[in-house]
Amino acid sequence: MSRLDETFALVAIDSVSGNESAIASVVESALRQNPHLDVERIGDNVVARTTGLHRTRLLVAGHLDTVPGDPATSTNDGDRVTGLGACDMKGSLAVMLELARDQEPRPVEVTWVFYAREEIARAQSGLLEIGELRPDLLQADAAVLAEPTGGVVEAGCQGTLRVVVEMRGLRAHTARPFTGVNALHRLGELLSRVASYEPRVVEIDGVSYTEQLQAGAVEGGIAPNVVPDFARCTLNHRVAPDRSREEAMTWLVEFLGDVLDDGDNVDVADWAPSCPPALTNERLGALVALTGRPARAKVGWTDVATFRELGIAATNFGAGDPLLAHRSDEFVAAGELDQFAAVLREWLR
């Protein structure tokens, strides 16, 4: 089966976050056929390890889940696979499966990690689940996280802060709105303020991080003829590695400023910490050299931050254009899979 065919087969399996049982079984089954691998299933996560005696162990990890969408509308035209999760990150998973099954002798041990629930709140992460139940399986000297990076190393990652803003108003009849305060009209101010945000750019170790602020969800409304006294908005703030959660929150509340009233709430719903570049690590430096291109910053949050918490130097490197991730027209091309496979194969030598 070609890399595109393997990618297409993985895309066809619905694996929206929380629904990874089927794809985990397919991956587990494919890996268990290989006697040189020790395969463990932990919930909907699968870990496969070579068990030789080499001193160095390298780890390659990828998540099995996708954001919500329709896996049924995917296509494979022989040059590219288009469809939900093609780019983020089933193309890379297909290459990982291929190299995991490859029995060529290597001078290092390799751990392959396929994990669940990366695209939702971090507390539910399958990687954290493995880290809690079987931390021994994650031990390694360096790790590659195969998120889509366009075939270059994307170093570190930005933190991600999810905040829920609850705005108050005063209920009234929609025919006499002047007797109340419409919380949705106040929400309009909030959304317009967020839309006016100009990203802060931070340079760390020669790598440039661009922060972001986006509205992710809104809700509000009581009945067709009632001026609503409540509106809720979820914001997502991407935070460069030079700011902590507290510093990011302080900035955000200041930025929203007079849009907020005393009766409103601004609460942290989720925080995943940032990770500075780790390119001084010899193995990761070698990976950058193998790609033949300079490293750049990872602007999204990734589990390199989780590996950092586990004391393992990790970086992002995978097939597919990161700009296509989470878009309805995402795809991965055959050439991208080939380049990723060639560099990764060389790195594991």
Active site residues: 65, 118
When asked if residue 142 is in the footprint of a copy of itself (CB under 8 A), the reply is no
Q: Dihedral through CA 34, CA 40, CA 45, CA 50, nearest 10?
A: -50
When asked if residue 245 is in the footprint of a copy of itself (CB under 8 A), the reply is no
84: Cα separation from own chain's centroid:
14
Is the peptide bond between 249 and the residue preceding it cis, with omega within 30 degrees of 0? no
The binder of a copy of itself chosen from 1, 22, 72, 121 (CB under 8 A): 121
**Residue 148: CA count within 13 A, CB half-sphere:** 22
The binder of a copy of itself chosen from 328, 342, 346, 349 (CB under 8 A): 328
Which 8-state DSSP code applies to residue 324?
A: G
Asked if 27 contacts 40 with a C-beta cutoff of 8 angstroms, the reply is no
Residue 37, SS3 per DSSP: strand
When asked if residue 300 is in the footprint of a copy of itself (CB under 8 A), the reply is yes
Number of residues in contact with a copy of itself, rule: CB under 8 A?
64
Q: Is 182 exposed, middle or buried (0-12, 13-18, 19+ CB in 10 A)?
A: buried
| Nearest alpha carbon to residue 64 among 110, 125, 109, 121 | 125
The binder of a copy of itself chosen from 187, 240, 314, 341 (CB under 8 A): 187
The binder of a copy of itself chosen from 115, 301, 307, 347 (CB under 8 A): 301
Give the residues across from 208 on adjacent strands. 203
Measure the CA–CA gap between 158 and 155, rounded to whole angstroms: 10
When asked if residue 185 is in the footprint of a copy of itself (CB under 8 A), the reply is yes
The binder of a copy of itself chosen from 20, 44, 109, 119 (CB under 8 A): 119
Taking the least distance from each CB to a copy of itself, the nearer of 239 and 348 is 239
Residues sharing a CB contact under 8 Å with residue 158, sequence separation 6 or more, in sequence order? 209, 211, 238, 239, 240, 241, 274, 297, 298, 299, 300, 301
When asked if residue 195 is in the footprint of a copy of itself (CB under 8 A), the reply is yes
When asked if residue 168 is in the footprint of a copy of itself (CB under 8 A), the reply is no
The binder of a copy of itself chosen from 167, 194, 332, 344 (CB under 8 A): 194
DSSP 140-160: -SEEEE----TTS-EESB-EE
When asked if residue 218 is in the footprint of a copy of itself (CB under 8 A), the reply is yes
Measure the CA–CA gap between 161 and 116, rounded to whole angstroms: 21
When asked if residue 257 is in the footprint of a copy of itself (CB under 8 A), the reply is no
Pick the stretch among 48-56, 97-105, 169-177, 309-317 that binds a copy of itself (CB under 8 A): 169-177
328 residue type, one letter: S
Pick the stretch among 22-30, 70-78, 248-256, 317-325 that binds a copy of itself (CB under 8 A): 317-325
The binder of a copy of itself chosen from 172, 295, 312, 344 (CB under 8 A): 172
Q: How far separated are the first and last CA of the chain, in Å rounded?
A: 24
The binder of a copy of itself chosen from 26, 170, 202, 290 (CB under 8 A): 170
When asked if residue 204 is in the footprint of a copy of itself (CB under 8 A), the reply is no
The binder of a copy of itself chosen from 20, 28, 98, 229 (CB under 8 A): 229
Q: Which of residues 144-163 bind a copy of itself (CB under 8 A)?
A: 158, 160, 162
Which 8-state DSSP code applies to residue 203?
A: E
When asked if residue 285 is in the footprint of a copy of itself (CB under 8 A), the reply is no
When asked if residue 223 is in the footprint of a copy of itself (CB under 8 A), the reply is yes
When asked if residue 216 is in the footprint of a copy of itself (CB under 8 A), the reply is yes
Asked if 336 contacts 320 with a C-beta cutoff of 8 angstroms, the reply is yes
Q: Which of residues 259-278 bind a copy of itself (CB under 8 A)?
A: 270
The residue ranges that bind a copy of itself (CB under 8 A) are 17, 67-68, 88, 119-121, 158, 160, 162, 170-177, 179-180, 182, 184-185, 187-192, 194-195, 212, 214-229, 231, 233-234, 236, 238, 270, 299-301, 322-328
